[in-house]
Amino acid sequence: MSLQARGIYQPLRKMLGMVWLINGKPQPVEKARPLAEIKAHIVKSRPLETLIIGVGGFALILWLMIFKPF
């Protein structure tokens, strides 16, 4: 889930002029980009996929804990 979300939110942080990380190291803050470019990036993101991956992983762990198939 975090790998999929990182591809969306790391560039967004950079576009907003916030601190962003590469391998845990802070990168230089850049000037914030125009609002139209930020909105276009947000529109092409897929938050439902991230939600499904996260909830699905949690459901799998819960199922394994309850039914103990192994």
Per-residue pLDDT in tens (0 to 9) along the chain, 70 residues = 888 888 899 999 999 999 988 888 999 999 999 999 999 999 998 899 999 999 999 999 999 999 999 8
**CA 70, CA 60: separation in Å to the nearest integer?**
14
What pLDDT does residue 3 have? 86
Q: Does pTM top 0.95 for this prediction?
A: no
Q: What is the pLDDT of residue 38?
A: 94
Measured distance CA(29)–CA(21) in Å, rounded: 10
Closest CA to 11 of 45, 47, 36: 45
The residue extents of the domains of the chain are 2-67
Distance between CA atoms of residues 69 and 61, nearest Å: 12
Compute the Cα dihedral for 57, 60, 66, 69 and give only its sign. negative
Looking at residue 48, its pLDDT comes to: 93
- What's the pLDDT at 20? 87
